[in-house]
Amino acid sequence: MSKPTLQCSIISIAIIWCGLPLQANADDTARARSDSNARYLHHIDLYDTANRKITAESQTPYSPKNTCGRCHSYETISHGWHFNAFDVEADAGRKGEPWIWTDPRTGTQLPLSYRPWPHTFDPRDLGLSEWSMTAHFGARIPGGGIGEPQEGELREGESAPGGAEEIAETSRWLLTGNLEIDCLACHAVDGVYDMNARREQIERQNFAWAPTAALRMGEIKGDVSRIKDGSSPDDEATKKKLPTVTYDSRRFNLDGSVFIDLVREPTSNACYQCHSQRSINENGIEERWIHDEDVHLRAGMQCVDCHRNGIDHDMARGFVDQVATGGQSFETLSCEGCHLGGDDSTSITSRAGRLGSPQPLHEGLPPVHFEKLSCTACHGGPAPREEAVRIMTSLAHGLGEKGHRTGEELPAILAPVFAKADDGKIYPHKVMWPAYWAELTDDKKLKPLVPDQVYDWTRKSLRVRRSFIEEIMLPKLKSSELNALLGPERGKLKPDEWTTSEVDKVNARQRELGDADFKEKVAKSLNAIEKELGISNAVYVSTGKVYAATGDGDSLRILEDVATSSVDMITWPMAHNVRPAGWSLGKEGCVECHNDDGLIFASTVSADGPVPGEGTTVSMATIQGSDAIERKAWNQLFGGRATFKYVIAGSLIMLFFTFVFGLAVFASSLTKLSGSTTRKGDAS
């Protein structure tokens, strides 16, 4: 028997022996398993969306659903935390980062979520279709959910009522294909999966081709985004325009199988693709080398050591009250459970010390702190400063993609902000103030308008090509304006050659012109929207304020009586990077927090967004609802605590010596009294 035939036979016997089904979507009881700690080598056949085996001569992309799903329960996996963000029936879970629809041209940063999280908007209420959401955010999701509607539903949608726009988007699904769950986005070994190649295909609306591109299995030619709406994939002319794959024949074994190098537990590098963040300072993006790695990763751990999951992919998110769908306990996969232990001290699996974690003593720390503070309040997130700073995240800012970033890109996310969560404890949070164009309803609520439509309606009035901030709020001064402001000689110099006072003059002039441009252009844009929609109540929201056009329509006024839930900051808790004990808040004693400058209470955050300088500044104590008088009293108490200790110690010492002296006097008196009594007895 030849070597390839023998290899194929062994694989076939293994599949039969393990009871692996040969059809996609195997049920849970029959899914593949090796029951070994050793990594299983995947020499497997690839299948396309039509469930046809792929060869080196094929031109169709491979389907993770029909390939991985032959041995693993795709249906079970599809309900996992990473894949149900767009699942309207899924459990909301604890607040997380929303999907932020950002358009720098219109000054939009709109928080969206299908989960009922506070201060977010449901895409369905805005008229955003599943196709629009997938096209906009698909490069940042691992697939599944709204990214793969059923083919039968698509075909029905073509003839169903809903207008030309709905029919056009429905027809595009038939061209783009589904964005299936791409298992290898997480499970491929480092260096095998190309996330940027995947993003490029999704941006070209080649949804079904993205997994093939990410594995670098071959060359993909074609661009669905260039095919007209309403085109049928069955039309011969359209077929010629659809993307095709030219596979690399070297990737195929002699038996037609392909080796997929993957791991059971994803590496931290895979997590970083979507879970990186960078801090911003006055000079731009802070360099990585000045930051320390998360203390757990530095100790050699991987993300999945704590953030575990089973075949259902119900991810342990690290908070105490999370309940696994399968009934397993997540208790010791939280900070408290791992380091302090769970409620059941009699059970070994509930004890502290999982993965060799040290048990903190917290000597001298009153128990009330554990009732009011989360572990991350002292140990998690960026080191707190006097004011929360901008940060960038992978999901919101596309970290990992090629390109230069200044740190000023929208959306404007700030951290750390110490706010209370639903459990009443203080956590460090990321925050963002929504910015969007909307219609003000009769009951004083705001209904955001679809961002892409807003751009079409306001393109002529805003006259912004790239950036609302750079072109309206901070317009570049003409040479004549610089000469008039700084003088002919200084005006010709480069900005980095100006003095501090000259920079201040230029900035002040930019803000002055920007304020005038903002009022004029936004007012005209609101008029354009009202004309387009036939309404009289269009508004623009930014940094906690609601702007409406004045009666004459050539300037803006600020509305005060609007539902605050539509303009308030949105918050979600953060934990990483976790700082070591030596870098935790409170390490220097009680007065590090209990003083007038204690950062957990006294640091501030300023509303930020497309309209800089317009937002208000609030302290962490205000956000937490802390009573100012009570806090001041505590600060004064703790401020004199050291002196009070010395006074008490001195008083105790004085009391001790007074007691000793008194005891000595008393003893002496007794001695004298005893001697006097003896002499009287002798005389008798």
Is residue 199 located within the same domain as residue 279? Answer: no
**Mean pLDDT in residue range 254-262:** 94
The reported pLDDT for the residue numbered 604 is 94
Is residue 230 located within the same domain as residue 293? Answer: no
Reply yes or no on whether the pLDDT at 90 is more than 70: no
Residue 91 lies in a domain: no
- Residue 169: is it exposed, middle or buried by C-beta count within 10 angstroms (0-12/13-18/19+)? middle
* 336-345, 428-437, 554-563: the lowest-pLDDT one: 336-345
| Counts for the chain of helices (H) and strands (E), in that order | 27, 19
* 26-30, 337-341, 373-377, 550-554: the lowest-pLDDT one: 26-30
Is residue 347 located within the same domain as residue 241? Answer: no
Is residue 288 located within the same domain as residue 218? Answer: no
**Mean pLDDT in residue range 304-320:** 89
pLDDT band at 11 (very low <50, low <70, confident <90, very high): very low
Q: How far is it, in rounded angstroms, from Cα 84 to Cα 373?
A: 30
* 47-51, 301-305, 594-598, 658-662: the lowest-pLDDT one: 658-662
Reply yes or no on whether the pLDDT at 430 is more than 90: yes
Side-chain half-sphere exposure of 667, counting CA atoms within 13 A: 6
- Of 404, 430, 456, the last residue of a domain is 430
User: pTM for the whole thing?
Assistant: 0.86
Is residue 311 located within the same domain as residue 221? Answer: no
Contact 434, 110 (CB under 8 A): yes
Which element (helix H / strand E) includes 195? helix 195-203
Overall domain count for the chain: 3
Most confident residue range from 33-47, 273-287, 515-529, 558-572: 515-529
Reply yes or no on whether the pLDDT at 7 is more than 70: no
Paired sense of beta strands 538-542 and 218-221, if any: unpaired
- Residue 351: is it exposed, middle or buried by C-beta count within 10 angstroms (0-12/13-18/19+)? middle
pLDDT band at 13 (very low <50, low <70, confident <90, very high): very low
Per DSSP, 546 falls in state: E
The reported pLDDT for the residue numbered 351 is 84
Most confident residue range from 343-347, 401-405, 453-457: 453-457
Residue 147 lies in a domain: yes
Is residue 156 located within the same domain as residue 15? Answer: yes
Better-predicted residue by pLDDT, 88 or 374 = 374
Reply yes or no on whether the pLDDT at 678 is more than 60: no
The reported pLDDT for the residue numbered 655 is 86
Residue 538 lies in a domain: no
Residue with the two structure tokens 């709905």: 166
Residue 13, phi-psi category: left (phi > 0), alpha (psi -120 to 50), beta (remainder): alpha
Better-predicted residue by pLDDT, 152 or 238 = 238
The reported pLDDT for the residue numbered 31 is 72
Q: Which of 327, 308, 310 is nearest to 318 (CA)?
A: 308
Cβ-based neighbours of 112, under 8 Å, separated by 6 or more: 98, 99, 100, 101, 120, 121, 122, 123, 126, 128, 133
Structure-token pair, residue 592: 């590090």
SS3 83: coil
- Of 400, 415, 430, the last residue of a domain is 430
Q: What percent of the chain has pLDDT over 70?
A: 88
**Mean pLDDT in residue range 306-329:** 84
**Mean pLDDT in residue range 358-376:** 90
Reply yes or no on whether the pLDDT at 197 is more than 90: yes
Q: What percent of the chain has pLDDT over 90?
A: 51
**Mean pLDDT in residue range 221-231:** 92
Residue with the two structure tokens 């999951």: 309
Reply yes or no on whether the pLDDT at 572 is more than 70: yes
Is residue 312 located within the same domain as residue 414? Answer: yes
Structure-token pair, residue 486: 């700084």
Where do runs of H (alpha helix) occur along 281-327? 295-298, 303-306
Is residue 152 located within the same domain as residue 192? Answer: yes
- Residue 408: is it exposed, middle or buried by C-beta count within 10 angstroms (0-12/13-18/19+)? middle
pLDDT band at 89 (very low <50, low <70, confident <90, very high): low
Beta bridge partner(s), residue 469:
none
Better-predicted residue by pLDDT, 289 or 261 = 261
The reported pLDDT for the residue numbered 79 is 87
CA distances 147 to 85, 141, 275, 418, 557, Å, are 11, 9, 21, 35, 41
Is residue 283 located within the same domain as residue 389? Answer: yes
Residue 648 lies in a domain: yes
CA distances 600 to 392, 530, 593, 633, Å, are 22, 45, 6, 17
Is residue 365 located within the same domain as residue 400? Answer: yes
Give the structural domain span for 661. 643-684
Contact 506, 482 (CB under 8 A): yes
Cβ-based neighbours of 410, under 8 Å, separated by 6 or more: 102, 104, 107, 108, 109, 435, 469, 609, 610
pLDDT digits (tens, 9 = 90+) for 149-175: 855 455 434 433 344 455 456 678 999
Reply yes or no on whether the pLDDT at 100 is more than 70: yes
Residue 395 lies in a domain: yes
- Of 242, 264, 286, the last residue of a domain is 264
Is residue 187 located within the same domain as residue 204? Answer: yes
Q: Which long-range contacts (CB under 8 A, 24 or more apart) does 57-61 make?
A: 57/247, 58/245, 58/247, 59/244, 59/245, 59/246, 60/245, 61/177, 61/208, 61/209, 61/211, 61/212, 61/220, 61/243, 61/245
Per DSSP, 300 falls in state: T
Structure-token pair, residue 216: 């670098």
Residue 90 lies in a domain: no
Contact 408, 102 (CB under 8 A): no
Is residue 231 located within the same domain as residue 277? Answer: no
Most confident residue range from 77-91, 261-275, 617-631: 261-275
The reported pLDDT for the residue numbered 684 is 52
Structure-token pair, residue 426: 């203080």
Residues constituting the chain: 684
The reported pLDDT for the residue numbered 496 is 86
Q: How far is it, in rounded angstroms, from Cα 320 to Cα 342?
A: 9
For the chain, what is the mean pLDDT?
A: 85
The reported pLDDT for the residue numbered 365 is 87
Beta bridge partner(s), residue 86:
none
Q: Other C-beta atoms within 10 Å of 432: how many?
A: 25
φ/ψ of 559, rounded to 5, equals -90, 140
CA distances 496 to 490, 491, 502, 514, Å, are 12, 12, 10, 22
Better-predicted residue by pLDDT, 493 or 160 = 493
**Mean pLDDT in residue range 280-302:** 87
pLDDT band at 271 (very low <50, low <70, confident <90, very high): very high
Reply yes or no on whether the pLDDT at 661 is more than 90: no
* 72-86, 215-229, 504-518: the lowest-pLDDT one: 72-86
Structure-token pair, residue 320: 């105490």
Residue 561 lies in a domain: no
**Mean pLDDT in residue range 256-285:** 92
The reported pLDDT for the residue numbered 12 is 39
Residue 594 lies in a domain: no
